[in-house]
Amino acid sequence: MLMASSALRARVVREAQFDWGVTYLPYYDEFIAEPKNSIIGGASLWVMRRPGASVAEYQGVAAFFSYLGQAATDAKWHMMTGYVPLTLAGYEAAKAQGYYEANPGADLAILQLARPNPTENTRGLRLGNLPEIRVVVYEEVEKALQGQQTAEQAMANVVRRGNAILREFEAIYK
């Protein structure tokens, strides 16, 4: 079993020399009645103010973001990479092209993110050094799945290691 980003799908399609499939993240029905949406965690593009930047440079950035947000561009990028589309229009464009019928499971991440009734714990987050903390979560969950530690130990290690990473972030941006 492999738990990974939807972005890995394109590589698996291209390189895997074995049968494989995808499914929703598991949940325990003794704790919750139905599964909730998962939290999106992908990379993002940021535009920072820069002393001396011209209006033309910012207009270029705006034009680039506008290009990325076009349905055709978004759908193509999504279909080529496996990343979740940026817009509903991108998803609909991929769907209209028959992408999900031809590629079963390619829409699973979208469907999982779009489950109704998000809770306070599933509506998203802003977290300093999230990429580093995500690696910690992967490492500790992997150890638990391999029987090297209990789930409780994994979560305690995530908290301990994650808090250390957050303290580093806090020290930098205080």
**CA 29, chain centre distance (Å):** 24
Q: Could you report the per-residue pLDDT of 42-78, keeping only the tens digit for each?
A: 667 778 788 899 999 999 999 999 999 999 999 999 9
* pLDDT confidence bin for 141, thresholds 50/70/90: very high
Residue-level pLDDT at 113: 87
Written as six digits, the tokens of 8 are: 């890995």
Residue 39, sorted as left (phi over 0), alpha (psi -120 to 50) or beta, turns out to be beta
* pLDDT confidence bin for 173, thresholds 50/70/90: confident
Q: Which residue has 């909730």 as its token pair?
A: 36
Each domain of the chain, given as residue ranges in start order, spans 1-123, 126-174
CATH class of 1-123: alpha beta
The dihedral over CA atoms of 12, 17, 23, 25, expressed in degrees to the nearest 10, equals -70
Residue-level pLDDT at 132: 92
- Distance in Å from the first CA to the final CA of the chain: 40
Secondary structure of 60-87 as H, E, C letters = HHHHHHHHHCCHHHHHHHHHHHCCCCCC
Residue-level pLDDT at 102: 96
Which amino acid, 22?
V
